[in-house]
Amino acid sequence: MWKFVLPVVVLVTATGARADETAIKLKDGPGRDVVMNNCAACHSLDYIQMNSPFLDQKLWEAEVTKMIKVFGAPVDDSDAKAIVDYLSRSYGRP
């Protein structure tokens, strides 16, 4: 019986968590779509808003590089630059 209950619980929980993602609204601007298409594939976009008080352009670049090189995010170089530019401009610490 538990073989069938556990997958259902996981599916319901995951579906509920994913449904809340629509509440996250990133600021409009160039590169926003690139961020949404690349970053949201692996994690919630609320990480951007949570980290914005702490990260400037150099630290956003380090975060994006870490996601690619350490965690294996499949982001090409032009998208990585657009992501860093957007995050620095829209969520960077002055």
Question: Looking at residue 24, what is its pLDDT?
Answer: 84
Asked, for residue 16, whether it belongs to a domain, the answer is no
Q: Count CB atoms within 10 A of the CB of residue 48.
A: 23
Question: Looking at residue 11, what is its pLDDT?
Answer: 55
C-alpha 61, offset from chain centre: 14
**The CATH number of the domain where 59 resides is what?**
1.10.760.10
As a whole number of angstroms, the distance between CA 85 and CA 82 comes to: 5
C-alpha 74, offset from chain centre: 13
**Pick from 91, 77, 73: which is nearest to 32 by CA?**
91
Asked, for residue 11, whether it belongs to a domain, the answer is no
More confident residue, 94 or 16: 94
Please say if the pLDDT value at position 15 is more than 90: no
Q: What percent of the chain has pLDDT over 90?
A: 70
Determine the structural domain holding residue 64 and report its residue range.
23-91
Our count of domains for the chain comes to 1
